[in-house]
Amino acid sequence: MYRDSFLEVEEPPTERIADVGVPAPKRPWTWLSPKNIGAVYVLIAIIVVFSVWAPDTFPTVDTVKVILNQNAVTGIIALSLVVPLSAGVFDLSIGYVMGLASVVCAYLLVNTALPVPIVVASALIVSLFAGAINAALVVRLGIDSFIGTLGSGAIALAAIILISNQQAITGDRLGEGFADIAISSVGGITAPVILMLVVAAVLWWLMDHTATGRRIYATGFNAEAARLTGVRTGRLRAASLLSSSVLAGLAGVVICAQVSAGSPDIGPPYLLNAFATAFLGATQLRSGRFNAWGTVLAVLVLGTGQTGLSLVGAPVWGNSMFTGLVLLGALAVTKLQRRNNHPTRTA
Amino acid sequence: MPAAATDVARARSPLFTVEDASITFPGVKAVDGVSLDLYANEVHALLGANGCGKSTLIKILAGFHQPDDGLRATFDGSEIDLVATEQQRDHPLRFVHQDLGLVNELSATDNIALSLGFLGSGISVDWKAENQRARGLLARFGVHLDPRRPLSDATAVDRTLLAVARALGDLGDAKHVLVLDEPTAALSSTEVQRLFEAVRELRDAGSAVLYVSHRMDEIFEIADRVTVMRSGRVISSGPIGAMTPTLLTSLIAGEPTEAQAQAETPSRRRTSSARHTEAALAVRDLRSQSIGGVDFDVRRGEIVGVAGLFGSGREAVGYAAAGALPDASGHWEINGASFDRLAVRDAVDAGLGFVPADRVAEGLIREFTVLENLSLAALSDLGSSVRLSRRVEREQASAWLSSVGVRADAIDVPVTTLSGGNQQKILFGRWLWRRPAVLVLCEPTAGVDIGARHALHELLREQAAAGLAVLITTSDLDDLVEVCDRVLVMRNGIVERELTGAAISTPTILAAMETDSGPTRP
C-alpha cells in the first residue's frame, strides 16, 4: 500500500532474473551439481572441444595467460556491476566512465608532468564524481536508474570527446613507468589479473560476510521490506553506484596501461559484455544472486570460448554468437529449473 | 421506501439463484453451504464482519474461485456455470470491486474501451465513436466529465459511477445482476447519495443489485433485503423491514465465542493492573493524508488495538506511528527518545519494531531463506561491521525459531515455503530478536489459519507480560478481542472512541465503528 514506486517500475518481480536466491547447501555433492556450477562444466566442455579442434595451439600455457590477461579488464568492469545490481539498480554509465578514466589518465600523462600515482588517483576521482552524479540522480531525485545512468553516461561520453578531441591520446609517458600497471607480473600472472582477483575477493567478502552485503541483497530483492526493517536503502544504493563507478574507473586505468593509449571509444563496448557476464554469473554458485566468483567464472567461460574461436579461425560473427548463446542458454536453463521446482507452500 | 418494487419482485421467481456454495481452503471451510436468491428490481445487501466469507462468496460468484462440488447457479431460470462463464462477454453477473479496477492515468474513454473493446477497424481506433460511447454511458449515470481527461482529475464518486457504467456498458437492456463490493468506502456522504440515486435508478430499471457493505446506516437506506453471513454461513436473510440496527449488529457479531468468553475473565485483564505505567510509545497530533490528528500512548506491557472501517484511517495509524509514512507529521516519543520527524530507521534505532500489513510485499524478502529473513533486523548485533558472524547468526536463529514454534530444520529453506502463519512468526521473530521496547503490528493475522492465529496471540500476550508495548491495527475483530487491553476506534481519521476492559467485545467494537450519522470528511 505504501511503497515507493521507484523500484517497481524498474524491476517487476516476475521479470526479475533473481527469483529465488537460496545459497547453495553445504554438502559437496550438491555444491558440485550442474545447478550450482553449470558454467564449470561448460568451461570443461569448451576446453575439451578446442583441445581436440586445435591441439597445437589451444592447450598451452600461453593460451591460459592470454585468456587471463585479455579478460582481466572485462572481469573488473563486470565485477563493478555486482553491487549495484544486487542493490536493485542498473548502472549503464560504467562503459563511459571507464572510457573517461582512460582518457583522463592518458591526457594527464601526456600533457602534464604529474607523477603516475597522482594521475591514477585523478582518474579514479573523476570516476567517483561520475558515480556521485549517478547517486544524486537515482537516489536523491528518484530517477529510474536505467534512464538516469544512461543520461549520465551520455554526459561522460561528451567529456570523453571533449578531452580526447576524438583521437586516441598517445605519448611516450604512456609507455614508460605507467605501463608497469599492465605488464608487471608475479609468477607469470600479470597485475591486471591479480587486481581482478583482489576485487572479486573483496566483493565476495562484502556480499557474503558482512551485514552490509546482506542488506544490499535485501534492498535489491524487496526495497520496501528492507526499508521497513530499518535498512538505509537509499544510502546503500548511492554507495553501490559510487562503487561501480570507481571500479569502472579502475578498469579504465588498466585498459589505458594495456593499450598504451587513451582511446575515446574503448570503454562503451564493454558495457554489454559486462552486463552479460554479471547476469551469467548470477546463475552460478549462489543462484539468483549477483556474486563475485560467479561473475569471474562467467568471464572465464566466455573468454575461453572466444579465445578458442579465434585460434581455430572462426568467422568474426562467431564471438558474438557464442556470447549470446551462452548467456541465453544459462538464463533459459535457470528459468526452467525454477519452474520445475517452484517453491510450493507446505505447512 | 421501495415497498412497491419489493412486492412486484416477490411475486416473481428470482432472477439469479445460487445454491449450496461451499469452498474449502487448506484447513478452513471459508464458505459453507451458502444459498442466495436475487430478484430483479431489488437491492440485496450482503453483510458480515471481516473474515465471514462474504468476499470469498463474491469471488466464487465472479468465477474466480473454483467452488466445492454441489454448487448450483441459475440465471433467469436456466442453469449456468460460474467458472465457465467468467470469460464470456455475455456474462449476466457484473462486478464492481472495491478498488474499481480503473486505470487512473487514462481517460474515461480509454478505461471503457479497455474493457468493452476498441471501436473502429482492426488497424485504427475510431476515437470519435469511442468518445461518443463514453459520453453516452457517463450521461446515463449522471456523470458530467470530459471523457478525454485522465481519471485522476475526476472525483471519487464519478470514478465509482464510471466503473458501474463500464461494468454494464455492453449489456444494453439485458437482464443482469450488478454486484457492488463496498462501493462507498472512499466516498463522502453527499457522494454516497449520488451513488445511491444511480443504484435506485438501476434497480427500478430492472437490475438485481447485490450490495456488499460494512456501513449499517447505508443498508437501511438502500437495501430491500439483507443477508447476514458469519463464519462462512448465512445466519439470517430477509426483508430489511424486519430488521433493526441492533438486531443486525448482534447478527453480524454473533454470540461471544468460547475464546472470547474466556478472554473476558479477570485473569486476562490482569495486565490492566500489573501493567507498568511508563509510556514506551507516545504519539501526539499524528497527521497524514488519511489521519487527522491522533494522540495515544502505549505503555510497557500494554497491548493497544486500533479498529476502524476501511478508509477510517485505521490502516495508516500503524505506518505513521512507526515512521513508515513519508507524509506523516506529528510528535513521537519512542522509548524515551523524542522525534518531530520520524523515519523507520530512527524508530528502529530507538527500539521499535514494525510488522507491515502486506506480509509478502512489505515484510518478507521472498528470495531470502528463513534464516536471512529472521536476522535482517538484528544484523548489527552479529559480529563486527567488517565481519558478520554466521555461526552466531545460526545459533541465535535456531533458538528464535524454536521459541516461536517453527521447526528448526526450516532454517535454510526459502521463506516462501512456510505457511502464512509461520511466515508471520518469522516477521515477529525478526523484531523480537532485537528485544524491542515497542512492536507495531498491522493486520498481524491476515491470511493465517486458526491454529497459528492462536499461537500468534499467545506469543503477543507473553511478550507483553514481559514488558513489551504492542500496537495492533487490524480489521480482524478477533485480534482486538483476544489480546488487546485497550482499543481505539477510528472514524474519519480520528479516534472516535476508546474501549477498555469488558467493553472490548465484538458487538461494542462493531457498533463504535459503524454507528454514525454518515461519513463527513474534512
CATH number at residue A149: 1.10.3470
pLDDT in tens, A166-221: 999 998 888 888 988 988 888 888 999 999 999 999 999 999 999 999 999 999 99
Assess contact for B369 and B413: CB atoms under 8 A.
yes
Taking alpha carbons only, the member of A251, A241, A271 closest to residue A133 is: A241
> Which of the listed ranges A191-195, B355-359, B450-454 does the model predict with the highest average pLDDT?
A191-195
- Looking at 3.40.50.1970, 3.40.50.720, 3.40.640.10, 3.40.50.300, the CATH number of the domain B258-351+436-514 comes to 3.40.50.300
Predicted confidence band of residue B334 (pLDDT cuts 50, 70, 90):
very high
Give the integer Cα–Cα distance in Å for B383 and A271: 37
Examine the pLDDT at B385 and tell me if it is beyond 90.
Answer: no
Domain boundaries in chain B?
Answer: 3-92+175-253, 105-174, 258-351+436-514, 369-434
Are the C-beta atoms of residues B19 and B61 closer than 8 Å to each other? no
Superfamily name and number for B3-92+175-253: P-loop containing nucleotide triphosphate hydrolases (3.40.50.300)
Please provide the average confidence, as pLDDT, over all residues in chain B.
84
Nearest CA in chain A to B346: A230
Helices (H), B2-47: 3-11
A286 vs B: CB within 8 A? no
Cell 537509499 locates to A234
Structural domain includes residue A21? no
Q: Whole-angstrom Cα distance, residue B384 to residue A211?
A: 8
Is residue A344 within 8 angstroms of chain B, CB to CB? yes
Cβ–Cβ under 8 Å, residues B130 and B138: no
A217 at B interface, C-beta within 8 A: yes
DSSP code per residue over A29-75: HHHTSHHHHHHHHHHHHHHHHHHHHSTTTSSSHHHHHHHHHHHHHHH
Q: What is the SS3 assignment for A73-135?
A: HHHHHHHCCHHHHHCCCCCCCHHHHHHHHHHHHHHHHHHCCCCHHHHHHHHHHHHHHHHHHHH
Cα gap A231→A225, rounded to integer Å:
9
B325: nearest CB among A2, A344, A345: A2
- Are B290 and B313 within 8 A, CB to CB? yes
Distance of residue A218 Cα from the nearest chain B Cα, in angstroms: 6
Q: Is residue A18 part of a domain?
A: no
Q: How many CA atoms lie within 13 A of B350 on its CB side?
A: 24
- The Cα A205–Cα A292 span in angstroms is 9
**Measured between alpha carbons, how far is A159 from B516 in angstroms, rounded to an integer?**
66
CA distance A134 to A242: 8
Whole-number pLDDT of residue B270: 42
Q: What is the mean pLDDT of residues B456-468?
A: 92
CA distance A346 to A341: 14
* A337 at B interface, C-beta within 8 A: no
Q: Which of A209, A222, A347 sits opposite B419 (nearest CB)?
A: A347
Phi-psi region of B299 (alpha: psi -120 to 50; beta: other; left: phi over 0): beta
Cβ-based neighbours of A288, under 8 Å, separated by 6 or more: A17, A18, A19, A20, A21, A22, A282, A334, B367
* CB-closest option in B367, B375, B382 to A18: B367
- In terms of C-beta density within 10 A (0-12 exposed, 13-18 middle, 19 or more buried), how is residue B266 classed? exposed
Phi and psi at residue A113, to the nearest 5°: -105, 15
- Number of structural domains (chain A) is 1
CB contact under 8 A, B388 and A343: no
Contact (CB, 8 A) for B321 and B304: no
- B417-442: pLDDT as tens digits: 888 888 899 999 999 998 999 999 99
Number of Cβ within 10 Å of residue B401's Cβ equals 22
What residue of B is the nearest CA neighbor of A224?
B362
Q: Is residue A154 assigned to a domain?
A: yes
Domain contains A27: no
Q: What pLDDT score does B76 carry?
A: 87
Q: Which domain holds residue A218?
A: 5-10+37-339
| Closest to A193 measured CA to CA, from A251, A112, A235 | A251
User: Worst-scoring range by mean pLDDT, A10-14, B77-81, B239-243?
Assistant: A10-14
Q: Looking at beta carbons, which residues of chain B come within 8 Å of A229?
A: 344, 348, 354, 376-377, 430
Check: CB of residue B281 under 8 Å from CB of residue B321: yes
- Hey, is the C-beta of A144 within 8 angstroms of any chain B C-beta? no
In whole angstroms, what is the distance from residue A209 CA to residue A231 CA?
17
CA distance B516 to B290: 18
Cα A71 from Cα A307, distance rounded (Å): 10
Separation of alpha carbons B404 and B400, rounded Å: 6
Which regions in chain A score pLDDT beneath 50? 1-25, 342-347
Look up residue A55 and give its three cell numbers.
Answer: 591441439
A16 located within any domain: no
Reduced to 3 states, what is the DSSP secondary structure of residue A307? helix
| Mean pLDDT, rounded, for B54-62 | 86
Contacts of B347 in chain A (CB under 8 A): 230
CB contact under 8 A, B345 and A232: yes
- By 3-state DSSP, what share of chain B in percent is helix, strand and coil, each rounded to 5? 40, 25, 35
Distance between CA atoms of B228 and B252, rounded to whole angstroms? 6
B26, B379, B422 member nearest A214 (Cβ) = B379
CA distance A340 to chain B (A): 15
Which chain B residues touch A18 with a CB distance below 8 Å? Answer: 367
